[in-house]
Structure 1
Amino acid sequence: MKNKLKLLKGAVSGDNRREFLKKAGVLFGGISVASYMTSPVEELIAETTSGVKRSSNPSDLKITDMRYCVLQLAEDGSRNTIIRIDTNQGIYGLGEVRDAADVRYALFLKSRILGENPCNVEMLFKTIKQFGFHGRQGGGVSAVEMALWDLAGKAFGVPCWMLLGGRYRNKVRLYSYIPVHNWANMDEAKFREDVNQRINLQGYTWLKFYPSLETIGHIPGITVNSKYWAEPKFTEITSYNKTKQPFTQLQITDKGLDELARYVDFIRSVVGYEVPLSADGFGNYDINNCISVGRKLFPYRLAWLEDMLSWEMTDQMKVLTEALETPVLTGEDIYLKEEFIKLCDNHVVDIIHPDLHTSGGILETKKIGDYAEEKGIAMAMHCSSTPVGFMASAHCAAATQNFLALEMTTQAVDNAWWHNLVKTTDGRKLVESGYANVSDTAPGLGIELNEDEIKKHLFPGDNSYFAPTSEWNERRSEDHLWSGRFTIGQPTGIVPK
């Protein structure tokens, strides 16, 4: 501003009238010279600095609030929670808690970040990461982390991927699902029509399906010990779904293996061999049966076998991986990079599969992918979210070299309203021909919420919409994980003898 005033002074005192008007036009844009002569200095400053982006002074940003809304995306009562972190400069960041997780995993963290600068993403992440864990318990920390990146991107006016060191791709490959059909009463013509739509009309180049025991469960003689698990159990933790694979003593007969292969053969014959085909949801049976199934399905060249064993059974998982020629994959329930490092160092699996909503957010997941790359292991990404978490995952995928494909659930593919939950801030399509579009320029995640559509899908048990959460403002505990020495120069309270 001082330089501009000096230039103006020179124009008035020595320049001719034409030069003065030319310089005045450069200096003051739309403000006239006459107005300049009569306007108060405050108005002049406001006009001449009108191009400055006042909502993003990153050094002075402070977190002022965290609010949320809970969505129900399916009729089964599932929950997806979007959080919003507000600041003193009017910009906000969006994040998403892991599907089916409790919003309180995120709200508990509010008191730890209030008053902090959201651009200090890594520092804040290190402050709160002790409060996450594997599975859905990682959802709160991960949601806050992705909201901080959204805020940082908006503050600096750049996309999130740019803050991660740049990107390898501007379109992120997606994998979607084979349309659900009843194998017991298959309408083959309709199935072929649906698969054709998924591949040729919707443009998906990678598909996934469920070759589970439930799929062939109508056929007698396929398993041993299945009737026991069909009966109600004393507690939920002893039910089939909550019992880990080695402890069910469920076995698959030769007939069961043949029927499973017949089902997969049909799926592959319709999909063809050009499209990668991944498999998930096998069932809870031990490593011996996993090996039998994996070997039986090898001729169909599946892209991966997902979560056949619980991820923490690393010794057994490694045996499974070494016994099979089809890639073995796991990771959607793992929190933070440390457990992924163990998987990669020991080559326990062929492909890792983090869910950014559990693994710790955008940067932590990129670190996981980068480490896996050094060990020669590829990364696919699990995702069952609203477009908020989906775009956070897409930015991470765009910035990670060894990335394969990002999940897009059936409800996201087949329901137009899912896409309408947000608006892209640069007008691009969220998804196009089986790929997620990652903006070149839109700051942060590049999306904003579509309030009208969001309100149509609020969870019945909590239909508030970003209501105040002041009850979570107060911090009530000391969070350090280790005890240090007394501060130098401060009284210890210990009375010497």
Structure 2
Amino acid sequence: MKKILEEIRDQNMQLDKVKGTDNSRRNFLKKTALGGIALGGLMHLSVEDTIAQTTSNVKRSSNPSELKITDMRMAMIANKWIIRIDTNQGIYGLGEVRDGADGRYALFLKSRILGLNPCNVEMLFKIIRQYGYHGRQGGGVCAVEMALWDLTGKAYNVPAWQLLGGRYRDKIRLYADTPGARDPQAFAETMKKRVDDQGFTWLKMDLGIHVVANIPDALVNSKFWDGATGQYDLRDYMNYGNALHPFTQVQITDKGLAGLTEYV
């Protein structure tokens, strides 16, 4: 080995003396010779050692079959709870706790997924879905699933939509929810802002009998609505929000329908 290295040194010294020989040629010859030495050295190794040597410089930051979940954390960003699922390979996935739900709906699922492979999204979802429910109570499960898809996409270096069957369209039409208001003029201003300032062309309106609750004779048995601010108001067991719809006894009259029409 020493003799070979000395020969390479002597050859390089001779090349340096040759007029018109550039560095790129010397570097090429040098790398070729050293590469031959390295390859020759591998010829004397066992199969296992040869594989270990040749793969020693392979980047292993994304080895999906060996991924393990090591932690889950959350932070409030722009009034939204965002969770981060970390792994043993340094890559992570992000998910949003939907619909304004408490971040703890997601955080208490941490113990159920630690040590598992995040790429097994379907299996993990079946483990945690029993802890979700309708509306905000499903926010935690949704956040974890979102983070798992994000992680899997990073592990395989593909977008999440590719994992879900591939691209179907290049763009989609978005709709914007618009919080209701008792004053129709204020509601109209909010809707106008959605269209003119934010560019939405599809709007969702939250309409209900609460819009006409204060109009005389708009509702029958309106006493069951008294004091309630909406269908989810549960402060009084006699309120509308605490009764199943068929038993509320609240009915809208023609005057109430006219009020809703005017509101729209």
Give the TM-score normalised by structure 2.
0.68
Partner of 1:260: 260
| Separation in structure 2 between the aligned mates of residue 72 and residue 203 of structure 1, nearest angstrom | 21
Cα shift readout 1:450-469 (whole Å, capped 9, x = no counterpart):
xxxxxxxxxxxxxxxxxxxx
Q: Which has the larger Rg?
A: 2
Partner of 2:226: 230
Partner of 2:199: 203
Partner of 2:68: 62
Give the TM-score normalised by structure 1.
0.39
Pick 1 or 2: higher relative contact order, CA cutoff 8 A, min separation 6: 1
**Counterpart secondary structure, 1:99:** helix
Partner of 1:133: 133
Aligned pair in 2 of structure 1 residues 82, 237: CA closer, same or farther (>3 Å)? farther
| Separation in structure 1 between the aligned mates of residue 140 and residue 178 of structure 2, nearest angstrom | 31
| Separation in structure 1 between the aligned mates of residue 235 and residue 207 of structure 2, nearest angstrom | 28
Offset, 1:155: 0.8
Asked if 1 retains the 8 angstrom alpha-carbon contact of 2:213 and 2:225, the reply is: no
Between the two proteins, the alignment pairs up a number of residues equal to: 222
Q: How does 1:31-42 map to 2 (within 5 A)?
A: 33=31
| Separation in structure 2 between the aligned mates of residue 86 and residue 144 of structure 1, nearest angstrom | 12
Aligned pair in 2 of structure 1 residues 165, 71: CA closer, same or farther (>3 Å)? same
**Counterpart secondary structure, 1:220:** coil
Does 2:217 correspond to 1:217?
A: no
Asked if 2 retains the 8 angstrom alpha-carbon contact of 1:177 and 1:209, the reply is: yes
Cα shift readout 1:127-179 (whole Å, capped 9, x = no counterpart):
22233233333222222111111000011111100100102123221111458
- Identity of paired residues, percent? 57
Asked if 2 retains the 8 angstrom alpha-carbon contact of 1:61 and 1:88, the reply is: yes
1:83 maps to amino acid: I
Asked if 2 retains the 8 angstrom alpha-carbon contact of 1:121 and 1:148, the reply is: yes
Cα shift readout 1:29-64 (whole Å, capped 9, x = no counterpart):
xxx849x69xx99xxxxxx99996542121221111
Structure 1: gaps spanning 5 or more residues: 1-11, 26-31, 42-47, 74-79, 265-497
Does 2:150 correspond to 1:144?
A: no
Q: How does 1:154-303 map to 2 (within 5 A)?
A: 154-177=154-177, 183=183, 186=185, 191=188, 195-231=191-227, 236=236, 238-264=238-264
Offset, 1:222: 0.4
Cα shift readout 1:8-38 (whole Å, capped 9, x = no counterpart):
xxxx9xxxx99xx67x76xxxxxx849x69x
Structure 2: gaps spanning 5 or more residues: 1-7, 9-14, 16-20, 42-53
Partner of 1:93: 93
| Separation in structure 2 between the aligned mates of residue 123 and residue 198 of structure 1, nearest angstrom | 40
Offset, 1:95: 1.4
Aligned pair in 2 of structure 1 residues 105, 179: CA closer, same or farther (>3 Å)? closer
Offset, 1:246: 1.4
**Counterpart secondary structure, 1:173:** coil
**Counterpart secondary structure, 2:98:** coil
RMSD (CA atoms): 3.8
| Separation in structure 1 between the aligned mates of residue 131 and residue 192 of structure 2, nearest angstrom | 45
